[in-house]
Structure 1
Amino acid sequence: MKAAVWHGQKDLRVEETELRELKDSEVKVKVAWAGICGSDLHEYEEGPVFVPTEKPDPLTGETTPLTMGHEFAGVVEEVGSEVKDYKPGDRVTINPTLTFGKKSEDLDPYFGFAFIGLSGDGGFAKFANVPEKNVYHLPDPLSLQDGALVEPTAVAVQAVKEAELLFGDTVAVFGAGPIGLLTIDAAKAAGASRIIALDLSKERLEKAKQMGATNVINSGEVNAVEAIKELEPEGVDVSFEVAGVGATFEQAVEVTTPRGTMVVVSIFASPIEWNPFQLTAKGITIKSSLAYTPTSFRQTIDLMARGQLKPQEVITDHIGLNDIVEKGFEELSNNKSQAKILVELSGEN
């Protein structure tokens, strides 16, 4: 079968691969749609970050080259002998988080983690073999294309939960890439009264409005801190750092009201220099958010099915697997008007 395989930095190849043998506790999924994530882009542009290159990952037992793709959904093709809750024909979405826990409720990334599609073979392929505990039924209101959006949306849901955002709180989101846009959607669903989106791209800021931002600021044209203070003189209750650069980290702290909360959601590709007295002087709580808990993943599916979360607007393009390098990864690297690009595998709905 054809798959998009990571061989090294800027070396992603669509090539023929063999699907490994299905384990007794696994489900074989015929992949319908898979999304290109910012984490995938980090591996392509700057990797290795998560991908195991020198020795096998302790959770997957795999090393590069490996098939990428951790945001995917599809139809069950086959099940192992120990699988109880799934059968061929079931529509499913995948929680790609792997941990050392034995049960589905143990899939908390903070206790040691790996990801299907980053630490082992994933969903940029016709088929993927996945542990049963990582598989979730997709309810009828959601299409398989929607299913490919569950994983990144769950990242945003977890970030908003970590912030302990209250109904009526004011919010600033630094970075209107895919996760930033989905954080806007989640903050809106959680009851934020004002959501300020900041980015350098006019196109992404327009997309932020579609996702629910009440105000947008082009931080390349105006002073971001001053612009926010004009809207919220005391600062916002919660800020989300989703850009992954030193400047936005400092700005997110600066615009947060005293005793407020700043949540780091982005992956920083390199260290930053920062004076923590900026934090001490305001009594701000800084939290970080990595992936999601199993509860948040399930809640995300339910919220999407009920229409309380509407991440579909984040999609900016659909491409085929053969075009994943030029029209996917390279496009995301060079065209900041792009947000979420979905890769069609079987294309089933």
Structure 2
Amino acid sequence: MRADRHRMKAAVWYGARDVRIAEVDVPTPGRGEVLIEVAYCGICGSDLHEYADGPHAIPVVEPHPASGATAPLILGHEFCGTVAALGPSVVGLTIGDRVAVEPNYRCGTCPRCRAGEYNICRHFGFAGLMGHGGMAEYAAIPAYMAHRLPEAVSLEQAALFEPASVALHALRRAGTTPETVTVVGLGPVGLLTVRLAAERKVRRIVAVDVSPDRLHRAARLGATDLVDAGLEEGAGARIRELTGGEGVDVAFEAVGSESALRTCLAATRRGGRVVLVGLAREVSLDAFALVNNEQSIVASVGYRDTYPELIRLVAERGLDLTPVVTSTIALDALIPHGFDALLGGPGDQVKILVDPAAHRDRFDHLAPYAASAGMAKHASSGRGRGC
């Protein structure tokens, strides 16, 4: 049993290549906040960028306007868990509720929030990037981020709702459900785009990547055609060949590179649409061809109003998101078996989940704190994975 019963382990970002598994205070939920006992937290590409050569989104000088936080900062925005304590003024949630966390901050008052477009709020940001997140044993978040889960939805599924929301929002940005699509880039978001397109009964789904393993994984998730991105004649030309010279209705760029965008444009039919999901900086393109083909390019950032649909799809239609998970690791293994494995490993990892309670009894060391914080019910409830 640990001597300090008010402490927890967390992955704290101090700078590029300086993420420390540290002992920090268990946060106390403030007004309108809930304390979440974290079950799983996925490693996102954004986390990798911050670790490798950040800061990119992490505030280091001025506090983020929504969170008030600056570095050092607890990473992790793809998380879920169980409500462990309630701050003042929280309604609609109870201790012991299993929840998926929709981690984007919103002010609720700017023009975009008032229009319901809270994913492009003036103070846009994510817990775990612009505020303290869920790569820890506990996390305090605004209550509006917590979505209660029905018994039919496991926490393993809920751990994938954040990247699945990125994919679902991108599909919505495509407009009406297309007949044919291509997905260029088969990271977690690309693979989940394939899975959700298949769930929407898209007739032809062409998956593009350089990795044979990821291409085969896409086939298991519903891709009808697989294309090697490194083809000498070009992946775009191969996709046109597969579609009888027409091209697909919609292409999803899920890499964040100029070459991937060019592949998408080459693969898309006249009058078709390219949805930018990957994060690229400057790119160049043939605007003359874009106009002559009357193609459109739209951007997709984050998500809004996606969690209720994902909960319904999993609970009522049996949607399974977990095939994208390749490993689950302990928090202590985050750097060597998480970040470094994804950045420089053999390429066989796709989505790695972190289990902050791995190899330990999470309730034993916090039971006295639980009683003092009104968490006695939670402390005796077991891990609550709901599998």
TM-score grouping bracket, smaller chain normalisation: over 0.9
Q: What is the CA distance between 1:307 and its match in structure 2?
A: 3.2
Match 1:123 to one of 120, 134, 137:
134
Determine if the alignment matches structure 1 residue 306 to structure 2 residue 316. yes
Match 1:234 to one of 228, 231, 246:
246
- Please, which runs of 5 or more residues in structure 2 have no aligned partner? 1-7, 359-382
Match 1:183 to one of 193, 197, 221:
193
Counterparts of 2:337 and 2:14, CA distance in 1 = 19
Q: How does 1:239-318 map to 2 (within 5 A)?
A: 239-268=251-280, 270-293=281-304, 295-307=305-317, 309-318=319-328
Q: How does 1:143-222 map to 2 (within 5 A)?
A: 143-166=154-177, 169-222=179-232
Which residue matches 2:363?
none
Q: What is the CA distance between 1:24 and its match in structure 2?
A: 2.0
Contact 1:254/1:278, CA 8 A, preserved across alignment? no
Counterparts of 2:319 and 2:201, CA distance in 1 = 12
Counterparts of 1:40 and 1:244, CA distance in 2 = 15
- Paired letter, 1:215: D
- Please, which runs of 5 or more residues in structure 1 have no aligned partner? none
TM-score, with length taken from structure 1:
0.95
Runs of 4+ in 1 over 6 A off after TM superposition: none
Cα separation, partners in 2 of 1:115 and 1:81, compared to 1, 3 Å: same
SS in 2 for 1:17: strand
Q: What is the CA distance between 1:22 and its match in structure 2?
A: 1.6
Cα separation, partners in 2 of 1:104 and 1:311, compared to 1, 3 Å: farther
Computed over aligned residues only, the root mean square deviation of the Cα atoms, in angstroms, reads: 1.7
Counterparts of 1:239 and 1:88, CA distance in 2 = 43
- Paired letter, 1:186: L
Which residue matches 1:341?
352
Counterparts of 2:100 and 2:114, CA distance in 1 = 14
Cα separation, partners in 2 of 1:31 and 1:179, compared to 1, 3 Å: same
Which residue matches 2:37?
30
Determine if the alignment matches structure 1 residue 44 to structure 2 residue 51. yes
Q: What is the CA distance between 1:104 and its match in structure 2?
A: 11
Q: What is the CA distance between 1:272 and its match in structure 2?
A: 2.2
Contact 2:191/2:324, CA 8 A, preserved across alignment? yes
Aligned residues: 346
SS in 1 for 2:125: strand
Contact 1:104/1:133, CA 8 A, preserved across alignment? no
Determine if the alignment matches structure 1 residue 97 to structure 2 residue 104. yes
Contact 2:59/2:69, CA 8 A, preserved across alignment? yes
Cα separation, partners in 2 of 1:104 and 1:341, compared to 1, 3 Å: farther
- Paired letter, 2:352: I
- Paired letter, 1:313: P
Structure of larger gyration radius: 2
Which residue matches 2:60?
53
Contact 2:237/2:266, CA 8 A, preserved across alignment? no
Q: What is the CA distance between 1:273 and its match in structure 2?
A: 2.7
State which drifts further: 327-336 or 124-133. Answer: 327-336
TM-score, with length taken from structure 2:
0.86
- Paired letter, 1:170: T
Determine if the alignment matches structure 1 residue 140 to structure 2 residue 172. no
Give % identity.
Answer: 37
Counterparts of 1:180 and 1:12, CA distance in 2 = 27
- Paired letter, 1:211: L
Counterparts of 1:91 and 1:279, CA distance in 2 = 47
SS in 1 for 2:25: coil
SS in 1 for 2:337: helix
Cα separation, partners in 2 of 1:95 and 1:272, compared to 1, 3 Å: same
SS in 2 for 1:332: helix
